Structure 1
Amino acid sequence: MVNFNGELLFKENLKITSENRAFKYGDAIFETIKISNNKIIFWEDHYFRLMASMRMLRMKIPMEFTLEYLEQEILRIVALKDDSNTYRVRLNIYRKDGGLYKPETNKIDYLIDVKAINIISKETYKIDVFKDFYNYSGLLSTIKTNNRILNTLASIYADENDLDNCVLINEKKGVVEVTNGNIFIVKGNTIKTPALTEGCVKGIIRKKVIEIITKNNDFTLEETNISPFEIQKADEVFITNAIIGIQPVTMYKKKIFTVNISKKIKQSLQVLEVTS
């Protein structure tokens, strides 16, 4: 089942019209959220990012859209399921039907879909750069909109070339992120991640990992521009997203990475998940 504007429906009963703006224009945003043991992981961070994104896209935020209300609406779906302890939630928000590029209204519809998942961190994980198209830098790229054709093409490229993921670059040829998350590189005692001005999504786990690193006196964190060449020179590389948490990268082109620091940060993140 899904939750459409507070109504629980079987998926086959969900009606999306030909005027749906998420379909016609990608006029939509979404949050991918993990639920573990009936608890929404880092829910406050997801909620405030969602509100900020809606404001940036000039969507009208309903009065009832409180932190508690949306949490309740998500957990209503989870309560109907008993096939797992861990779930992936996609909370999609889009402007109501009507209009061309200019919408008839800024009011919104929302759709909550929940799927059971089994999270597996791969022991061998290969990445390379996707060079066919750019992820343009700028604030709009930091929002999780439904405009994900670049990520789709990069994912197809990864599959065709026996890769687990691809690094996306911007118009300045700088590293932005990977197809499904943010990226960090470790060199000595310095850990770097692309700055938001490079065009990367303002990831929730990215934020948590930055907090973990800045509290550790053994490392220096830099949010900066990163060239693809720096990945090849790194000691370690890891990827972050809301579902997997941290995925260490073991190979980039012919370079083999260690995973010791990645695993230590992952343990710290798992503690935060439990205590959040």
Structure 2
Amino acid sequence: MINFNGNIVLKDSNILTENRSFLYGDGVFETVKIVNSKILFLEDHYFRLMASMRVVRMEIPMNFTMEFFEEQILSLVQRNNLTQSSRARITMYRNDGGYYLPVSNEVSYIIHATPLEQTLYSVKETLYEVDLFKDFYITRQLLSSIKSTNKLLNITASIYASENGLDNCILLNDAKNVVEAIQGNIFMLVGNTLTTPPVSEGCLNGVMRKQVLALAKKIPQLTVVEEIISPFDLQKADQLFITNVIKGIQPITKYRKKEFAIALAAELTNLLNEMITA
């Protein structure tokens, strides 16, 4: 028996009592976008998930191929009539048992999907204000670059942003350098130089980050670099934007008292959509 919200119930009626992802954050996940029954950037998502599982020493099932990954997601999306535009999350977690030390490295997974309003990516010309989040810091280590189910820092930062009327927050690492936004990688344009922090600074090894870096390098007038960004550099920026697979490219229009243009974000979004529809 267990106490659940003040009621004594059978332990078996609450599947979370032994779930390691719930108890210890012992899980990793991927969130993908599906457009017209196709998972965008499937290969990148698959290999990042496999790499994440290896980092935390999970056993990868022999049948867990990219084709299996694709079939499991699309079958759920089709069953729920979400093939036109949707997001799906697959969470891999170590099987029940043990405390900090698991009794097994074997895994289970769960997939859920929800609809999206838009098929292609778009840039909205509306106010999008951010500020720094300085209550907690991201550590510069390999674990910070993977999508684990331990996201308390991001949750706390999201609450801070909501309480302060912000659309997002910029997260810092233990060296007080810019890492990323709450739910995406960050890019900064100064003159003709587009900069994003290197993964070694603790940022997520984002799938959309990879796409944007590749697309930006095709724009002749741009110099694209992965370098450290300090909070002071943000004040010198001409443009700032955030990237993730679900939203695409989100321009930041205001940071503290400075306002920013959105031209590059719009140009990259057009290139991204051309790549998707090609």
Query: Do they fold alike, i.e. is TM over 0.5?
Result: yes
CA distance in 2, matches of 1:137, 1:243: 25
**Partner residue, 1:103:** 102
- 1:248 aligns with 251
**TM-score, L = length of structure 2:** 0.91
CA contact (8 A) 2:123 2:266 kept: no
Distance in 2 separating the partners of 1:159 and 1:42: 31
Does 2:164 match 1:151? no
- Residue 11 of structure 1 is matched in structure 2 by none
From 203, 208, 214, the counterpart of 1:200: 203
Match of residue 271, structure 1, among 270, 274, 277? 274
Distance 1:21 1:271 in 2: 41
The answer to whether the 8 Å contact 1:29/1:93 transfers is yes
The structure number with the bigger radius of gyration is 2
In structure 1, the residue corresponding to 2:143 is in which secondary structure?
Answer: helix
Deviation, 1:16, is 2.6
Report the AA paired with residue 252 of structure 1: Y
Corresponding residue for 1:182?
A: 185
> What is the identity, as a one-letter code, of the residue corresponding to 1:97?
D
- The separation in 1 between residues aligned to 2:36 and 2:166, in whole angstroms, is 32
Secondary structure, in 3 states, of the residue corresponding to 2:62? coil
Q: Deviations over 1:58-113 (max 9, x none)?
A: 10000110111110000111111236721111110000000111100000000000
Partner of 2:140: 137
Q: Which amino acid aligns with 1:112?
A: I
- Amino acid in the other structure paired with 1:149: L
* Structure 1: segments with no counterpart, 5+ residues: 1-13
| Matching residue of 2:29 | 30
User: What letter matches 2:51 in structure 1?
Assistant: A
Is the 1:127–1:164 Cα contact (8 Å) retained in structure 2? Answer: yes
Q: Deviations over 1:218-262 (max 9, x none)?
A: 111111110111112100001000100101111111111011111
Q: State the one-letter code of the partner of 1:247.
A: Q
Instruction: Confirm or deny: 8 A CA contact 1:35 1:41 kept in the other structure.
Output: yes
Aligned length: 262
Distance 1:73 1:163 in 2: 37
**1:38 Cα deviation from its structure 2 partner:** 1.1
Deviation at 1:272, TM superposition (A): 2.1
Distance in 2 (alpha carbons) for counterparts of 1:226 and 1:17: 40
8 Å CA contact 1:84, 1:117 repeated in 2: no
Identity %: 49
- Tell me, in whole angstroms, the C-alpha distance in 2 between the residues paired with 1:105 and 1:274: 43
For 1:92, the equivalent position in structure 2 comes to 91
Provide the rounded CA distance (Å) in 2 between the counterparts of 1:15 and 1:270: 43
Residue identity matched to 2:148: T
Partner of 1:213: 216
Q: SS of the residue aligned with 1:233?
A: coil
Shift of 1:217: 2.3
The match for 1:39 is 38
- In the alignment, the residues of structure 1 paired with residue 183 and residue 276 of structure 2 have an alpha-carbon distance, to the nearest angstrom, of 20
**Structure 2: runs of 5+ lacking an equivalent:** 1-12
Q: Tell me if structure 2 keeps the 8 A contact 1:42–1:273.
A: no
> Using the alignment, how far apart are the partners of 2:257 and 2:46 within structure 1?
40
Q: Which residue of 2 aligns with 1:118?
A: 117
How far is 1:15 from its partner? 6.5
Partners of 1:121 and 1:244 within 8 A in 2: no
TM-score normalised by structure 1 residue count: 0.92
